Chains A and B, each alone.
Chain A
Amino acid sequence: MKYVYYPGCSAESTARDHHMSILEVARALDIDVEELKGWTCCGSTPAHHTDKLLSLSLPAANLLKAQESGLNMVVSCAACFNRMKVANHEIRTNPDVKKQIANTLGKEYGGDVEIRHFIEILLEDIGIQRLKDAFTHSINDLKVVSYYGCLLVRPHEITKFDDPENPTSMDRLVEAMGGEALDWPHKVECCGGGFALSRPDIVIELSDSILGMAEAAGAQCIAVACPMCQVNLDLRQKDINRKKNRNYNLPIVYITQLLGLCLGISQKRLGMKKCIVSPMPVIEMLSKAV
């Protein structure tokens, strides 16, 4: 199994821990990932707010590079995953758009690259049993709510990730690690996404409702797979407590950080210290698997 890996801009800033933990988990499981050389930004929300062709050409430039490498693509960030999938879908289904993009790039991209999220690789290529065999540690009934957010699951016709209303991919991983995957109603609610800087007021409202529901479900932590969700729930938690008069103290960890811990990888290599809300309650539950 060899993939070309698209880390996305957040891997170099707010989500360095996500990036680190993915590379560590991939290495531990012999998943061969090679960073896409010279990759460029997918354009994210600002691009599709501004111009449709721009928003499709930016991901397409990377897909073209991937195609030249002859490998399929694995993406870590849910937002990049979504934009790559949307561009691929448009190119595959709309010949006019395909032509326009080719004209913009100066080279035709045929839509041949398959795009997958790292979680899909874990579940489909590796599988639960092999994961279980590889785990050296257990999270011992740690109560986890899995939060999928918007961009992995919607629109389902395009992302084709799990179930759009009740995804269970991360829940299955949590169970495999010995944790208790709690059922809860806010798996695919929106956290405010790209409004982190421009409309923190909206982020505070939406993320408050997610944290509140996680707490009501009895969660000891929230597992995420999207850098934007992580930042909104973690970095804004203090503001939410202040503005909404709450007392949340919920660690927001990447599912790959949890997996890394269970694979016996050191906290440092997984960037655990980068979490703003201390992940100690999670780490304390960890013990050698029997």
Chain B
Amino acid sequence: MTLVINKGISPNNMVNSVLEISGVDINCCLQCKKCTNGCPVVTMVDTPPSEIIRQLQLNAGDDILKSDLVWMCASCETCFSRCPMKIDMAAVMDALRIMDAKKTIPARTSKVNKFNNAFLSTVKMFGRTYDIGMIAAYKIKTFNLLQDTDKFPAMIRKRKIALFPNFGADKKYIRRIFKKTSK
């Protein structure tokens, strides 16, 4: 199989940025493909984990951020867990997501990233997640107001969803953390 590497608009090789963000050195990957064989989403993606590594080794540019695995990786850590070279692929995926989230304009970002922002905004506000606030924020961001509404009645009846935020969290550190990491 031929591997086509698109450099994208960034002249820099991504491998150094990945190393900087994640601390993971991918050079010792021997392409055994154990990561790919265990990856739960491999049948759903065009670019499996071992190929992400190979592309990085071959000086891929920022076009690699468009690979479908970047936002479809479930962070299950199977790849890292089974890698004979102890390459933390899951951390590499985190690094790629962090770079992609910085690069993409908010409106065009992936649903997963929109969810992450909705989730973290409630943590920032209340110190804990607050489902209804998070779901509302997420739905507005994705223009998908009707998703899963069929589940609400049962969830509310069974108290599987909190109607009000909990104010019991001590927000002293939360404020500092969000300020210092400027998120």
Contacts and interface: CB of A to CB of B under 8 A. Distances in A.
Contacts of B80: 154-155
B160 A199 contact: no
Interface stretch (B8-16, B28-36, B167-175): B167-175
A47 B97 CA distance: 11
Interface in A36-78: 37-41, 43-54, 57-58, 61, 64-65
Q: Which of B160, B170, B180 has the most CB of A within 10 A?
A: B160
B88 to A, nearest CB: 8
B177 interface: yes
B78 interface: yes
Interface of B: 21-22, 40-41, 44, 72, 74-78, 80-81, 88, 90, 94, 97-98, 101, 111-117, 119-120, 123, 127-129, 131, 135, 138, 147-148, 151, 154-155, 158-162, 166, 168-171, 173-174, 176-178, 180-181, 183
Q: B41, B72, B154, B181 — which one has the most chain A CB atoms within 10 A of its CB?
A: B181
Nearest to B121: A46
Interface residues of A, number: 55
Interface in A1-43: 9, 12-14, 16, 37-41, 43
Given A13-B160, A155-B80, A199 B72 contact: yes
Given A16-B159, A16-B160, A49-B112, A150 B119 contact: no
A51 B169 contact: no
A61 B177 contact: yes
Contact of A202 (B41, B98, B173, B178): B41
Nearest to A47: B120
B94 A104 contact: no
A195 interface: yes
A276 B160 CA distance: 10
13 contacts: A38-B170, A40-B170, A41-B128, A41-B129, A46-B120, A50-B101, A54-B177, A155-B81, A193-B75, A197-B138, A197-B148, A198-B111, A199-B111
Interface string A231-254: 000010000000000000000000
